[in-house]
Structure formats: structure tokens, C-alpha cells
Amino acid sequence: MQEIFLEEIAIHDIVTRLGDEITRDFQGEEVYAVCILKGAALFFSDLVRAIKLPVQLDFMQLSSYGSGSASSGQVKILLDLASSVEGKNVIIVEDIVDTGLSMHYLMENFRHRRAKSVRLCSLLSKPSRRKVDVRVDYCGIEAPDAFLVGYGLDYAQKYRNLPYIGVLKPEIYAKN
């Protein structure tokens, strides 16, 4: 690891704030929280416990960067939701919005499925890397243009179980 970007305690504070924001915005309603596997799994499990509302959980997996670190720009649904989102308040829970291509595609997809509302909650956002405009309704923190791992984020399926988020040494992914 080159350096630590977010310590465990900082992650906890961010998750609590995001949970409070969602709780406030959806008072008196139910939300349908959609975890984008695998990267958002740890964030998702902490976030849903910080939302003080009735919450239904569902899971989706999109095609990812494979085992490398560069985006292909192609989005594919590898695992779809278990139930319909029609008429529901969907909150997509993502780890990082980078180019924005995946979330741009998915938010449009949910609107076609006639969700009542579609909002995006992302722990991290890299605005300097955007290729398409995506509104992150609940944003944890802006991240630098560096490759991050830990707290669900992987490099070649490793590091997901780290309790903090760190910057991976470029030598590690430059080899591929």
C-alpha cells in the first residue's frame, strides 16, 4: 500500500452522515436499496444499518474492469435484481463513480423499469475522471485519481477485506 486514504473511523463517520441524509429525505417512506456487487458490499451492509427507515435490500452485479485497472467502457448486467422496482424509491449503492459510465447506464435502466425515484449513493467519487455527467445524490467523499483498494474495493479480487481504504502502489498494477 502506498498510503491510507480513509481510516476505518473516517469511513464510519461518512457512512453515518449518508445514512442520516437518506433517512431525512425519505421520512415516512420505504426505500429499496440496491447493492452493486462486489465492490459496494461492505459499504452497503454498514449503510443500510445507518438508515432509520423500512429498507428492502437487493443486489446487482455489472461487468467490471476484469482483473485489470482500466475501464472498458462496456456495461453489462451479470446479475439482475430479484424483484421489480416499479413504484419503488430506489437507492443505488455504489463504491466508486469513476468515468460515470456504469451509473449513467444503470440510472437510465431503472427509469425504464418505472421506479418511483432513482437516487445514487456512492462512497467515493472521482470527478476528474468523468466521461459522462452523473449526479451523485449522496456522495461520501471525493477521491484522487489513484487506484484505491480496501473496504470492498479490489485489485484482481484481493484486498476487499481490508477495513480501511488505501492507494495501491502503481508498481503492483503496472506489471499487467
Residues acting as catalytic residues:
98
Q: Answer for the pair 168, 2: CB distance below 8 angstroms, yes or no.
A: yes
Residue 26 or 122 with smaller CB distance to ligand 5GP = 122
Sketch the per residue contact string, 102 through 121, with ligand 5GP: x for CB under 6 A, - otherwise: x-------------------
How far is Cα 55 from Cα 57, in angstroms, rounded to an integer?
6
Q: Is the dihedral of CA 77, 82, 85, 89 positive or negative?
A: negative
Shortest distance in whole angstroms from residue 25 CB to ligand 5GP = 23
Give yes or no for residue 45 binding ligand 5GP (CB under 6 A): no
Give yes or no for residue 153 binding ligand 5GP (CB under 6 A): yes
The window from 7-15, 78-86, 95-103, 107-115 that contacts ligand 5GP (CB under 6 A) reads: 95-103
Question: Cell 447506464 sits at which residue?
Answer: 105
Give yes or no for residue 64 binding ligand 5GP (CB under 6 A): yes
How far is Cα 171 from Cα 100, in angstroms, rounded to an integer?
26
Number of residues that bind ligand 5GP (CB under 6 A): 19
How far is Cα 138 from Cα 23, in angstroms, rounded to an integer?
12
Indicate the angle between helix axes 41-50 and 8-25, nearest 10 degrees: 50
Task: Specify the pairing of strand 89-97 against strand 55-62.
Answer: unpaired
Give yes or no for residue 14 binding ligand 5GP (CB under 6 A): no
Q: By the criterion CB under 6 A, which residues form the site for ligand 5GP?
A: 39, 64-65, 71, 94-102, 147-149, 153-155
